[in-house]
Structure 1
Amino acid sequence: MTLAVITGASSGIGLELARLAAEDGSELILCADDPQLHEVEEDLRGQGATVTACLADLSTEEGVEALLSATGGRAVDHLMANAGRGLGHAFLDQDEAGIEAVIATNVTATTLLLHRVACRMAARGEGRILITGSIAGLMPGSYQAVYNATKAYLDTLSWGIRNELGDSGVTVTCLMPGPTETEFFHRAGMEETPVGRSEKDDPAMVARTGYRAMKRGASGVTAGLANKVQAALSGVVPDSVLAMLHRRMAEPEDAR
Structure 2
Amino acid sequence: MAEKFAIITGASTGIGFELASIAAENGYDLLVVADEGLIEAAAQDFRLHGVAVEGVQADLSTIEGVDALLGATAGRKIDLLCANAGRGLGHGFLDQDVSDWRRVVDTNITGTLYLLQNVLKDMVARDDGKVLITGSIAGFIPGSFQAVYNGTKAFVDSFADALRNEIKDAKGVTVTTLMPGPVETEFFDRADMLDTSVGASESKSDPADVARDGWDALMKGQAHIVSGWKNKIQAAVAHVTPASILAEQHRKMAEPGSAEVDHGEAR
Q: TM-score, normalised by structure 1?
A: 0.98
Alpha-carbon separation, structure 2, partners of 1:45 and 1:129: 22
Q: 1:142 aligns with which of 137, 144, 154?
A: 144
**Aligned residue among 211, 215, 220 for 2:219:** 215
Contact 2:18 2:207 in 1 (8 A): yes
Deviation, 1:108, is 0.6
Out of 230, 236, 241, the residue aligned to residue 240 of structure 2 is 236
Aligned residue in 1 for 2:94:
92
Looking at structure 2, the residues matched to 54 and 44 of structure 1 have their Cα atoms a distance apart, in angstroms, of 14
C-alpha displacement of 1:174: 0.4
Distance between the aligned counterparts of 1:208 and 1:25, measured in 2? 16
Which amino acid is 1:116 matched to? Answer: N
Aligned to 1:176: 179
Distance 1:215 1:68 in 2: 23
How far 1:49 sits from its partner (Å)?
2.2
The partner residue of 1:187 within 173, 185, 190 is: 190
How far is 1:23 from its partner? 0.5
What residue number does 2:265 align with?
none
The CA distance in 1 between the partners of 2:140 and 2:36, in whole Å, is 29
Asked if 1:74 corresponds to 2:76, the answer is yes
Give me the CA root mean square deviation.
1.1
Q: Of the candidates 57, 62, 65, which is equivalent to residue 67 of structure 2? A: 65
Query: Contact 2:214–2:225 (CA<8 Å) still a contact in 1?
Result: yes
Cα displacement (A) at 1:221: 0.3
By how many angstroms is 1:163 displaced? 1.0
Question: What amino acid maps onto 1:15 in structure 2?
Answer: F
How far is 1:74 from its partner? 1.5
Q: Is the Cα contact below 8 Å between 2:104 and 2:149 reproduced in 1?
A: yes
1:125 Cα deviation after fit: 0.7
Secondary structure of the equivalent of 1:74?
coil
Aligned twin of 1:101 = 103
Which residue of structure 2 lines up, in the alignment, with residue 224 of structure 1? 228
Could you tell me which runs of 5 or more consecutive residues in structure 2 were left unpaired when the two chains were aligned.
262-267
State the match for 2:49 in structure 1.
47
Q: In the alignment, which residue of structure 2 is the partner of 1:36?
A: 38
- Provide the C-alpha distance between the structure 2 equivalents of 1:229 and 1:78, rounded to a whole number of angstroms: 30
Query: What displacement does 1:42 show?
Result: 1.2
What amino acid is the match of 2:190? R
The CA deviation at 1:73 is 1.1
- Partner Cα distance (2:157, 2:182) in 1: 16
User: Could you list the runs of 5+ residues in structure 1 that have no partner in the other structure?
Assistant: none
Cα distance in 2, alignment partners of residues 207 and 46 from structure 1: 19
Give 1:161's match in structure 2, choosing from 157, 160, 163.
Answer: 163
In 2, Cα distance between equivalents of 1:156 and 1:50: 34
**Runs ≥4 in structure 1, deviation > 2 angstroms?**
none
